[in-house]
Every structure is written in structure tokens, then in C-alpha cells.
Amino acid sequence: MLHYLVATNHYKESDTLEIKAKYSKMPTYSVDAVFKDEPNVTYNYTLYDGKEWFQLGPSDGEIEGNQDKYKHIDTKRLQGTE
């Protein structure tokens, strides 16, 4: 996940506050990322089809109408909402 954020999304390692992987029912494996400049927001990612990281959270409902509130929404995700 850290490699994805640094290499693909051009973050610095020092931009992250916490990255934590977890095992659950759905999705089976996900990673929560918290950024230093937004410590009260958790961005959730999953590995889609075993090949590509995809941002799941915050939810689309939370983002809709509040895009300015969230600083770290993946551009791939925003392309689908424009």
C-alpha cells in the first residue's frame, strides 16, 4: 500500500500517519490509510482482482457534495463521479 501511495499517487512516505491492513469478510483484505493532514479521516483500499489498488472509503455518499472536505480521494475514483 505504501508503495502504491508513493509511486502511483505521488505522496511522500512522511505524508502518512498510519497504514493498517485488516482481514474481514468483505472485502477479505483491506488497508486503512490515515494522512497527517487529515487525521480524522480513514481512507480504505482493497486490492482489486489481485492487481490494482482501489479506494473504497470514504463512501461515495460521504464524498458527494463534499469533495472539498476530502484531500486524498483517488483521481481514478473522481473520474467516475464527474
Residue 80 lies in a domain: no
Tell me the three cell numbers of residue 32: 486503512
Q: The pTM is what?
A: 0.81
Return the residue matching grid coordinates 486524498: 72
Domain total of the chain? 1
Residue 82 lies in a domain: no
Q: Please report the pLDDT score of residue 81 as a whole number.
A: 47
Beta strands in the chain (DSSP E): 16-23, 29-35, 38-48, 52-57
Q: Please report the pLDDT score of residue 69 as a whole number.
A: 85
* Cα–Cα distance list, 25 to 28, 61, 64 (Å): 5, 22, 26
- Domain holding 21, by residue range, is 2-60
The C-alpha angle 7, 17, 26, rounded to 5 degrees, equals: 75
Residue 29 lies in a domain: yes
Q: Which residues of the chain have pLDDT under 50?
A: 81-82
Q: Please report the pLDDT score of residue 50 as a whole number.
A: 78
